């Protein structure tokens, strides 16, 4: 058994992460109620809307949305009842089934994009600099690669593929072994608008944060600070 003890800043970081994971999904679902969707259902429709022909194999859709196939299948069934998605045989593989976005599903997705953007902005992004957003993506990605060592999810499978292709320079740029940079293309990321793909763009500024200052800020989710 390991004798390692977590340092106080580590305990603070994990406690805040636990609180975020507990609160964020429910908060997003509540904000998406006017669209008649949960946040996961919106993410699923988004993945189909961005896919060629508005369709993906159920297994690929599960990987793309970071879900188990069983959960994905249940959600697709619910969206079928709403007329937003339909199942169809895969022409390339008779054993596989595709999820296909219907015209109604595409319209519901379009109607919900502004609502989702407002919810995510107000609860996550507002007040963060561009550098903060990049850091958030990088740190979340680093944790994801440890939670999915078998590379089942699209976001982590892309890392393994890049590594096998010899993309060592890209991986090293993050400072975390086996993790691609937050700005790199990844099958689990939303499709990047064409206007953002420009090699002449300057590098985004990175915010410098004082760890001691962050640790000193009071937060109800933090563990009690050890007495000196």
What's the pLDDT tens digit per position in 193-219?
A: 555 444 433 344 444 445 445 445 555
Is pLDDT above 50 for 120? yes
Using the Cα atoms of residue 13, residue 19, residue 20 and residue 22 in order, give the sign of their dihedral: positive
| DSSP string across 87-133 | EEEETTEEEEEEEEE-HHHHHHHHHHHHHHHHHHIIIIITT--HHHH
Residue 42: Cβ within 10 Å count:
21
Asked if the 33-126 domain carries CATH number 1.10.10.10, the reply is yes
Is pLDDT above 90 for 175? no
Mean pLDDT of the region 27-48: 97
If you average pLDDT over every residue of the chain, what do you get? 80
Mean pLDDT of the region 1-21: 92
What's the pLDDT tens digit per position in 67-118?
A: 999 999 999 999 999 999 999 999 888 889 999 999 999 999 999 999 999 9
Is pLDDT above 90 for 148? no
Q: What are phi and psi of 93, to 5 degrees?
A: -150, 110
- Domain-by-domain residue ranges, the chain? 33-126, 129-228
Mean pLDDT of the region 47-70: 94
Question: In this predicted structure, which of 16-20, 49-53, 110-114, 187-191 has the lowest mean pLDDT?
Answer: 187-191
């Amino acid at each position: 058994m390991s004798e390692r003890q977590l340092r106080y800043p580590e305990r603070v970081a994990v406690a805040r992460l636990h609180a975020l994971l507990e609160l964020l999904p429910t908060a997003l679902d509540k904000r998406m109620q006017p669209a008649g969707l949960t946040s996961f259902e919106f993410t699923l429709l988004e993945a189909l809307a961005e896919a060629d022909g508005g369709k993906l194999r159920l297994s690929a859709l599960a990987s793309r949305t970071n879900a188990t196939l069983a959960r994905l299948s249940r959600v697709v069934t619910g969206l079928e009842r709403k007329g937003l998605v339909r199942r169809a045989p895969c022409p390339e593989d008779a054993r596989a089934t595709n999820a296909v976005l219907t015209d109604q599903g595409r319209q519901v997705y379009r109607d919900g994009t502004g609502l989702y953007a407002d919810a995510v902005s107000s609860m996550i992004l507002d007040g963060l600099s561009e550098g903060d957003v990049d850091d958030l993506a990088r740190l979340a990605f680093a944790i994801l690669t440890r939670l999915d060592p078998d590379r089942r999810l699209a976001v982590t499978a892309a890392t393994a593929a890049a590594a096998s292709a010899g993309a060592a320079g890209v991986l090293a740029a993050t400072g975390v072994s086996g993790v691609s940079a937050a700005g790199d293309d990844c099958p689990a990321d939303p499709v990047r608008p064409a206007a953002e793909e420009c090699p002449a763009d300057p590098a985004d500024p990175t915010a410098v944060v004082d760890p001691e200052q962050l640790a000193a800020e009071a937060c109800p989710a933090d563990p009690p600070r050890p007495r000196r």
